[in-house]
């Protein structure tokens, strides 16, 4: 596809001539790295490549299981061995790409959980099994700060999300309930199920960037909007649902449908108090050439200990997590006030029953009450 390089002056990327001439060619990022000849340069790694780089948890695992830490962004990409989000693979060779590590089987999850626990506690295992370490590294290369492992179950890949001992509530069960609510509220969600492994709750979420052996290109909203590349004064207004709607207009295969979907997600985040709706928690899946659709919703659950503001700007009242704020600029999502009001009522019809969803997900009454209260706090 292309060559990514780093030297004293910064980072450089150029599409390969063979890729530019391919009938199947598409850009790695249609907004920031359009498909064209010539070399592009930057001082920071482009977001489309950051999406494929291990985040906090993945880096913690790599540092614990490797003798030598990656020295720069390119070495982190090589260390991920193709396990990150999307379809991109990286190699130090111009002629071949190292095959990705085999995805761990669900049957190996119990051993992986034990190793993940030790790493999460900051304990380097004294007898580290090399094969097991490689499996954990592959499974931990997705983004995010919380412990997770990618596993294979049947012909599908799942992200296994784990609980922590210091959690305020059982996060896998809470996220399962939230995803189920979102699905019932008309929001596309990945397949999800709860499993118990060695007495612990594990949430399995199907990887929507994988279909058997096929890999789909994925771009986060953070990569496309690229706030870290803007001047300081320009960032604030860009970290918003309106900016996301503008991105949809430029790259979506069906902008009207994606606008409506994005608006429904924004309303749902308000309804359940999901204040962790930052740009890395929204993304797009490649559909062909340089066209995309919103990826299924993920990383959604109430945050009882947070303020009544979303991470992204909602409307004329800034980040205020209220339905009034959501209505204020609904026309920018292709909706009239009446249509937007109908979306709000449809979402509320589901989230007003939040207590039942948390109970059915198996949360203890005290934890279910905490989460239900968080869902009640953002309905003005």
pLDDT tens for 18-29 read 999 999 999 999
Domain presence at residue 92: no
Domain that includes residue 198, residue range: 106-211
**pLDDT band at residue 84, thresholds of 50, 70 and 90?**
confident
For range 259-288, the mean pLDDT: 96
Residue 120 lies in a domain: yes
- The reply to whether 177 and 136 lie within a common domain is yes
Residues 60 and 116 in one domain: no
DSSP state of 126: S
Average pLDDT over residues 308-329: 96
Residues 220 and 347 in one domain: yes
The predicted structure's pLDDT at residue 93: 78
- Domain end position, chosen among 163, 185, 211: 211
Distance CA 141, CA 59 (A): 8
Alpha carbon 170 to chain centroid distance?
A: 20
Same domain for 370 and 333: yes
Same domain, 48 and 187: no
Going by C-alpha positions, the residue among 87, 84, 97, 99 that lies closest to residue 288 is 87
Contacts of 146 (CB under 8 A, 6+ apart): 57, 161, 162, 164, 171
How many angstroms separate the CA atoms of 312 and 89, rounded?
Answer: 31
pLDDT band at 206 (very low <50, low <70, confident <90, very high): very high
Residue 292 host element (H or E): strand 291-294
* 246 in the same domain as 203: no
Q: Which of 172, 193, 211 is the last residue of a domain?
A: 211
Give the pLDDT of residue 48. 95
Q: What is the pTM of this model?
A: 0.91
């Amino acid at each position: 596809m292309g060559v990514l390089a780093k030297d004293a002056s910064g980072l450089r990327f150029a599409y390969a001539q063979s890729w530019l001439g391919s009938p199947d060619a598409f850009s790695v990022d249609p907004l920031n790295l359009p498909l064209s000849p010539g070399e592009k340069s930057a001082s920071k790694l482009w977001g489309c490549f950051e999406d494929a780089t291990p985040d906090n948890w993945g880096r913690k695992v790599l540092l614990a299981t490797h003798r030598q830490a990656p020295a720069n962004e390119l070495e982190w990409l090589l260390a991920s061995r193709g396990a990150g989000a999307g379809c991109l693979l990286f190699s130090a060779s111009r002629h071949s790409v190292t095959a990705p590590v085999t995805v761990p089987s669900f049957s190996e999850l119990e051993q992986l959980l034990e190793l993940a626990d030790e790493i999460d506690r900051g304990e380097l295992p004294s007898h580290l099994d090399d094969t097991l370490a490689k499996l954990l590294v592959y499974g931990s290369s997705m983004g995010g700060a919380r412990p997770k492992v990618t596993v294979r179950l049947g012909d599908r890949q799942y992200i296994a999300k784990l609980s922590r001992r210091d959690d305020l509530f059982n996060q896998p069960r809470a996220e399962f309930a939230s995803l189920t609510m979102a699905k019932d509220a008309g929001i596309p969600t990945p397949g999800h199920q709860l499993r118990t492994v060695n007495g612990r709750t594990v949430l399995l979420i199907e990887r929507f960037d994988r279909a058997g052996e096929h890999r789909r290109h994925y771009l986060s909203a953070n990569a496309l909007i690229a706030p870290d590349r803007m001047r300081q004064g320009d960032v604030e207004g860009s970290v918003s649902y309106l900016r996301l709607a503008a991105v949809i207009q430029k790259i979506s295969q069906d902008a009207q449908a994606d606008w409506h979907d994005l608006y429904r997600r924004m309303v749902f985040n308000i309804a359940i108090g999901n204040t962790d709706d930052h740009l890395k928690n929204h993304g797009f899946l490649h559909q062909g050439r340089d066209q995309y659709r919103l990826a299924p919703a993920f990383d959604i659950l109430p945050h009882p200990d947070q303020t009544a503001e979303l991470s992204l700007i909602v409307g004329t009242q800034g980040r205020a997590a209220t339905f009034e704020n959501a209505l204020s600029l609904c026309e920018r999502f292709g909706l009239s006030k009446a249509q937007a009001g109908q979306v709000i009522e449809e979402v509320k019809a589901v989230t007003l029953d939040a207590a039942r969803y948390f109970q059915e997900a198996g949360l203890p009454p005290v934890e279910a009450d905490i989460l239900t209260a968080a869902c009640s706090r953002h309905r003005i």
